[in-house]
Amino acid sequence: MGKNATANKRPIKELELIATKIREDIIISLEKAGSGHSAGPLGLADIFTALYFDVMKHDPSKPLWDERDILLLSNGHCAPVLYTTLAHSGYFEKAELSTLRKFGSRLQGHPERERLPGIETTSGPLGCGLSQAAGMALAMKINKNHHRWIYCILGDGEQNEGNIWEAAMLINKYNLHNIIAITDRNNIQIDGTTEYVMPLEDLGAKWEAFGWHVIDIDGNNIDAIIDACAMARSIVEKPVMILAHTIPGKGVDFMEGDYHWHGMPVGIADIAGAPPKNEQAKVALHELRTLEGKIRSEHQ
Ligand SMILES: Cc1ncc(C[n+]2csc(CCOP(=O)(O)OP(=O)(O)O)c2C)c(N)n1
Ligand SMILES: [Mg+2]
């Protein structure tokens, strides 16, 4: 049996503590790497914590367990949150996080299937994840093990890719209702706000027009994420898109809401409103560790 199939549910405060530790490790590994994406991974830490530590059926000691739920990271540039969550779950040693983006490392800038336990697909070229989810769901249907859930994380800027909408139609046509898609609706992308680069709204209405059931949530509220996933699993007549409204750079005040941190780690760039380069990691970690202390004291 998978760990989360048998484990008692963790209290929300414990999950918030895990998400904060994950954010700290994202900052540390990106600073060591000297390149990489900060805003998306920090914003997604609550969703990843909820999925790996509560929602999904999986077993880090058996990454290829044929009853496991599947997590696909379609917005592959957010790899730091996937790697850090996998390490915290026990798929590999946390020490390996310090090899992020180094030559020869298993933790490259974008995830590669079979390179690291727990990585289900290769991603990085945007727009592919939902089609990969559709292929897996069709295979599960043919093999009669479609009781497993496939969680597919998508960026919002990523949804400028036409191929996502082809997958949206196909999933509906073939009733692949074991797919639960989650959009990281953080309103930023590579070089501006999503509404500036390519307006997406009304995004919920678009998904509904493609036959999907849409659930809007605060994507930085772990309780809300867990509830939305439970609701999504109970909706059998349609595929479900959870529009998770997140704050890019969440947890680090000088990064929050600023698209300049989309593809920047701490320590290499002078960005308006941020501390000097050599202070950025220290300030970010101080803020996160203060939050960690506060959650710990509330949890005791
Ligand atoms: C097919 C393709 N086109 C362009 C890119 C370059 N690119 C990387 S991330 C990104 C922005 C994606 O926006 P979003 O999904 O909202 O990511 P966020 O900034 O929220 O992390 C772009 C255009 C890519 N990786 N793949
Ligand atoms: Mg975005």
The closest-lying atom of ligand 1 relative to the alpha carbon of residue 156 is 16
CB 97 within 8 A of CB 84: yes
Q: What is the pLDDT of residues 167-177, one digit of tens each?
A: 999 999 999 99
pLDDT at 163: 97
User: Has residue 38 got a pLDDT over 60?
Assistant: yes
Starting from the CA of residue 163, give the closest ligand: 1
Tokens of 267: 């320590």
Residue whose Cα lies nearest atom 22 of ligand 1: it is: 190
* C-alpha of residue 255 to centroid of ligand 1, in Å: 18
Q: How far is the CA of 39 from the centre of ligand 2 (A)?
A: 9
The encoded tokens of residue 189 equal 């992308």
Using CB distances shorter than 6 Å, the residues near ligand 1 are: 39-40, 75, 77-78, 124-127, 155-158, 184, 186, 188-190, 248, 262
Is pLDDT above 70 for 228? yes
The residues near 240 (Cβ < 8 Å, ≥ 6 apart) are: 180, 181, 212, 213, 214, 215, 231, 232
Candidates 11, 18, 1, 5; CA nearest to 291 is: 18
Q: How many CB atoms lie within 10 A of CB 179?
A: 25
Element (H, E) at 207: helix 203-209
Which pLDDT score, from 0 to 100, does residue 145 have? 87
Of ligand 1's atoms, which has the minimum distance to the CA of residue 75? 15
Could you give all domains of the chain from N- to C-terminal order, each with its CATH number?
3-299 (3.40.50.970)
**What average pLDDT does the structure give for the chain?**
96
Tell me if the bond preceding 253 is cis, omega within 30° of 0.
no
The protein residue whose alpha carbon is closest to atom 14 in ligand 1 is 157
User: Which pLDDT does position 72 carry in this prediction?
Assistant: 98
Question: Could you tell me the pLDDT band of residue 3, with boundaries at 50, 70 and 90?
Answer: low
CA geometry: angle 154, 160, 165, nearest 5 deg: 70
- What atom in ligand 1 is closest to the CA of residue 259? 19
Mutate which of 48, 153, 158 for ligand 1? The one with the most ligand atoms within 8 Å of its CB, which is 158
